[in-house]
Amino acid sequence: MARRFYKRRPEASGQAFEDIIDSTNLQYKNGEVALIHKRPTPIKALKTQGNRVLSGVFEKKSTVDYDGIYRGKALYFEAKNTQSETSFPLANIEAHQLEHFEAAEKHGALCFVLIRFEKKGTIFYAPFSFIQKCRKRAKEGGRKSIAYNEFLEHCPEVPVTLRANIDYLLFVDREIEGETA
Amino acid sequence: MARRFYKRRPEASGQAFEDIIDSTNLQYKNGEVALIHKRPTPIKALKTQGNRVLSGVFEKKSTVDYDGIYRGKALYFEAKNTQSETSFPLANIEAHQLEHFEAAEKHGALCFVLIRFEKKGTIFYAPFSFIQKCRKRAKEGGRKSIAYNEFLEHCPEVPVTLRANIDYLLFVDREIEGETA
């Protein structure tokens, strides 16, 4: 039973996924492809000393984890890591994130979710429109998650390319070109 | 000499300026005009308990204070409050902020600085291009600040309108329309 000591905690895996995205964003920045940042977790500092925070509170988030600019367009996305091998629970995307995506799309931003099935070793690019379709189905009494097979059918897998560790902008290109076609 | 006890500290004034901008951004959001947010100050939480931060450190900022989306375009801006009645010191805009503006403009974002001369009661909309011109002049041995009169001559004053407390998007409109004209 020693094995479990080597097993990474889900939070650690989520962190590892974020690290891959951060390194991708740095590749995009250095290659002058795009300018994309992780939004800091909002913490209200109550007591500080120099650059140290002695006391603070986590504040309510109002947006999503990543934002940036690419080909003149604003983009927002959320990165989700799941341990499941069969489905992604819709509850993993919070209400404030959905609200932000809805408002941002209305103003012309590109919105999507990167979903990693860690045990499968796959990362999908899920446009916000796809997430919304699945949420609508759930609201109408359908399943409360998105099956792995549905991702395979409807969402592209994000590949490693020469320019980036997870080159998700390939699919943003397709959306931009689809819009203008 | 009791008067000084009533005098607001510069930081408090900066906070007050941020509050006006936050309320403006809320008006824009509620009116479905634009979606603009203050970026949280990046704090790395080292020790937490529930939603409380028991220990943390301020991290280096990589971007500017405000970002958002308007008419399909990404925008970034910085808000600066000054106590001076005669000029704005260029050193008030940090190197990492200038770098961010440069990169963001390259990718198609609209970048500007809102500068409030608190004692004059005026707020100027200064396009990043104007700030850069003044910085270039400083580098070449010219003055290290921008005179109040230069703002009067080159930058519009941000007015209160029915839709917003400080309706800076009026000038973003002009820039967008200038681009497409």
Domain ranges of chain A: 2-180
pLDDT at A2: 42
pLDDT at B4: 46
- The pair of structure tokens assigned to B28 is 């824009």
pLDDT at B1: 42
User: What one-letter code names the amino acid at A54?
Assistant: L
DSSP strand pairing (A52-58 vs A43-49): antiparallel
Q: Do A45 and B56 touch (CB under 8 A)?
A: yes
- CB-nearest to B51 from A58, A100, A104 is A58
Query: Where are the extended beta strands (E) located within A30-143?
Result: 35-38, 43-49, 52-58, 66-70, 73-82, 87-89, 110-117, 122-127
Listed as ranges, residues in chain A with pLDDT below 70 are: 1-11, 179-181
Rounded to whole angstroms, the Cα distance separating A88 from A155 reads 13
Which residues in chain B touch residue A72, judged by CB atoms under 8 angstroms apart? 73-74, 107-109
CATH topology of domain B2-180: Trna Endonuclease; Chain: A, domain 1 (3.40.1350)
* B48 strand-pairing partners: B53
A88 neighbors A80 (Cβ within 8 angstroms): yes
In chain A, the residue whose alpha carbon lies closest to the alpha carbon of B52 is A57
- CB-nearest to B72 from A34, A68, A108 is A108
- The pair of structure tokens assigned to B134 is 């003044």
User: What one-letter code names the amino acid at A50?
Assistant: G
- The pair of structure tokens assigned to A34 is 């795009």
Which residues in chain A touch residue B42, judged by CB atoms under 8 angstroms apart? 40
Q: Do A40 and B34 touch (CB under 8 A)?
A: no
pLDDT at B13: 76
B144 neighbors B138 (Cβ within 8 angstroms): yes
Which residues in chain B touch residue A97, judged by CB atoms under 8 angstroms apart? none
pLDDT at A3: 45
pLDDT at B180: 56
**CB within 8 Å of A147: residues ≥ 6 apart:** A86, A87
* B90 part of contact set with chain A, CB < 8 Å: no
Which residues in chain B touch residue A35, judged by CB atoms under 8 angstroms apart? 100, 103-104, 107, 109
A26 neighbors A36 (Cβ within 8 angstroms): no
pLDDT at A10: 61
What's the average pLDDT block by block, 10 residues per block, for chain B (181 residues)?
50 83 95 93 87 88 89 94 95 93 94 96 96 96 96 95 93 85 51
Chain center to CA of A114: 4
Chain B stretch 6-45, residues whose beta carbon is closer than 8 A to a beta carbon of chain A: 29, 32, 34-35, 37, 39-43, 45
- The pair of structure tokens assigned to A108 is 């012309």
Rounded to whole angstroms, the Cα distance separating A142 from A13 reads 29
pLDDT at B103: 95
DSSP strand pairing (A110-117 vs A73-82): parallel
pLDDT at A61: 79
Residue at token pair 């007015």: B159
Q: Output the CA angle A7-A91-A59, nearest 5 degrees.
A: 85
State the DSSP string of B11-55. HHHHHHHHHHHHHHHHHHHHTTS-EEEEPPP-EEEEEEETTEEEE
Rounded to whole angstroms, the Cα distance separating B30 from B36 reads 11
